Chain A
Amino acid sequence: MSYFRAENLSLHFGGLKAVDAVSFAVEKGEILSIIGPNGAGKSSIFNLISRIYPPTSGKIFFEDQDITQQPPYDIAKLGIARTFQNIELFENATVLSNLLVGRHRHSTTRLWQELLFMPSVRASEKLHRRRVEQVIEFLDLEPYRDKLISGLPYGVRKVIELARALCSEPKLILLDEPSSGLNVEETDDMSFWIRDMKSELGITVLMVEHDMTLVNRVSDRVIALNYGRVLAMGSPSEVQHHPDVVAAYLGA
């Protein structure tokens, strides 16, 4: 059985079939990219997995557990973290507290303990802080710890979002266009980090991406989508040379 599986997943908005009977599987420890033209349904698949939308039909399995009916906040508890295409950070908080929110799924303290800031809370806060520091080091975010998000440039925010997802120590991470809005150098950094996430942290990666250089560099397998349907699946070069994919991009 696959590590993560989507079976006949569909999402219809009235007559519009944003996602139409899509099935795919992600193996443990691989980097799988989803590509496709605008409006192909890539981000919709992510929103289905993180339960922002309920699917019209179909099922999602993670570690052989049906997660289709789980409430959205349980998805993160299972070990699936995500980033957003248009950056959803907590604007008026510091980088550090943004990253600490990423630790939320590991927090066990109770309200009354927190009100009194019992020694147990202090100890767990220190533990969270140490884990966050490891991620900060991993992604070179040291200069920004105490900065407010609202004052940071776009490229840095993108990395902080990745960092926040990593802070939750996920087993599977969903990256929604990790390189959008980044310059060449930043995209290079991003591709190294994605590879390191796989090799050093052992995280399985599912990502939506437009930048084909990045896709070719990091992906083990690629899925091409158009109009909510799977066009092709396979190694990066196989998919790129698939006639349907060429037709979808070039309109031939």
Chain B
Amino acid sequence: MRFLFKTDYEDDIRLFPHSGYIYTYGLLLAALLLAPYVLSSYLMSQLVFVCIYATVGVGLMILTGFTGQASLGHAAFLAIGAYTAAYLQQHNVPFPVYFLAAGLLTGVVGALVGFPALRLQGIYLVIATISFAFIVEEILARWESVTHGNEGMRVKTIQLLGTSMSRDGPVFYYLCLAVLVLTIVGTLNLLRSPTGRAFVAIRDSETAARSMGINVALYKVKSFAISAAITGFAGVLFAHKLSFISPEMFTLQLSIEFIIMILIGGTFSLHGAVLGAIFLVMIDPFLTYLKDDMPGVIAGVAATFGAGTERAAHIQDAVAAFASANGLKGAIYGIIIVVFVLFEPLGLYGRWLKIKLFFQLFPLYKRATFKRQKIYVKSERNR
């Protein structure tokens, strides 16, 4: 176990507390930079989605994880980013300009959503953001002169410096990775400055935040704006990766997936956003596997345990019917959320911290280390 002896206030400010962090994150970055030369095109494509989802996750983490304002409207912010990019691209605006414009516009919309949200808390805020998402979805479907309605919009490949950037090529992957890394670094910078601390203060006690001189309304709007802007940037990349966008891609289901992402990753750290994104991208191939291979495997197992051919075929059909049932995906998401909230509220990153601590303290690890403390009486009157 490593002990840090701090000799300078700088030690509390720097992003990497000690050299070990530089090595591990350096190695991770090197591996990610080498990935296009090693991984298959299918895995690369998945990795691009991980980067895009993780960017959204970081944005949502600022709002939900650090400022404590739940949102089920982030699919709408993603849509605004994506459609702005698609629209401006059709009018021959160069990529860097519409990339920034999409982020800015989404940020402004986010701030506008933040204003009515000031008076709402908890479940009411969730309902307000859901309504916002529905409004945006409806506008996208009806405003045909701009969005082409339900026909959707084609998004051409990115043209930059006279070359085109294929959506499956390594350059596009590097772009997504760069956006993710810059977002994470920016967010970490924010978290170690007054604004980030104000966000956390608002999450934990609005009354105390106010009495410490924090303009709660202003910072909530800021949080909404920053979160939306980041999601808008991710939206541009999302549009380019899919090369086709239509309103039914940005439904409530997607917003729920984003929330699941940070819940499962762990809502207290940016690591959670990335781990959650990996989880979210992996779940689709897993469901496909469930659908395609599972029935055969189970039938095979049944056969080895003495079931007749007819009986095995029957089992295979039953499992196949179950695996391709409508709404199975939603049900699995639901179960996953419930299981995580009940048994691992700190998410995947919390589990990782526990495992790390177990080996650091071995053999002295106490199971109660992460047990949630009894919370002292807190005045509800001053809310």
Contacts and interface: CB of A to CB of B under 8 A. Distances in A.
B379 to A, nearest CB: 4
A96 B200 CA distance: 13
Contacts of B376: 86-87, 154, 157
Interface in A1-55: 47, 50, 52
A150 interface: yes
Interface string B340-364: 0000000000000000000000000
Contacts of A198: none
A250 B204 CA distance: 40
A59 interface: no
A117 B182 CA distance: 12
A75 B211 CA distance: 7
Interface string B174-204: 0000000000001001101111111011011
A111 to B, nearest CB: 6
A87 B382 contact: no
Interface string B359-383: 0000000000000010111110010
Contacts of B377: 86
A115 B213 contact: no
Interface residues of A, number: 50
A72 B201 contact: no
Contact of B189 (A86, A114, A133): A114
A125 B200 CA distance: 17
A164 interface: yes
Nearest to A121: B193
B212 A111 contact: no
B379 A85 contact: yes
B127 interface: no
Contacts of A47: 382
Contacts of B186: 115-116
Prevailing SS type, chain B contact patch: helix
Interface residues of B, number: 38
Contacts of B268: 92
B215 interface: yes
Interface stretch (B8-16, B22-30, B53-61): B8-16
B209 interface: yes
A125 B193 contact: yes
Contact of B212 (A122, A125, A151, A164): A164
Contact of A125 (B13, B208, B213, B375): B13
A104 interface: yes
B198 A101 contact: yes
Interface in B3-40: 9-10, 12-13
A72 B211 contact: yes
A77 B189 CA distance: 24
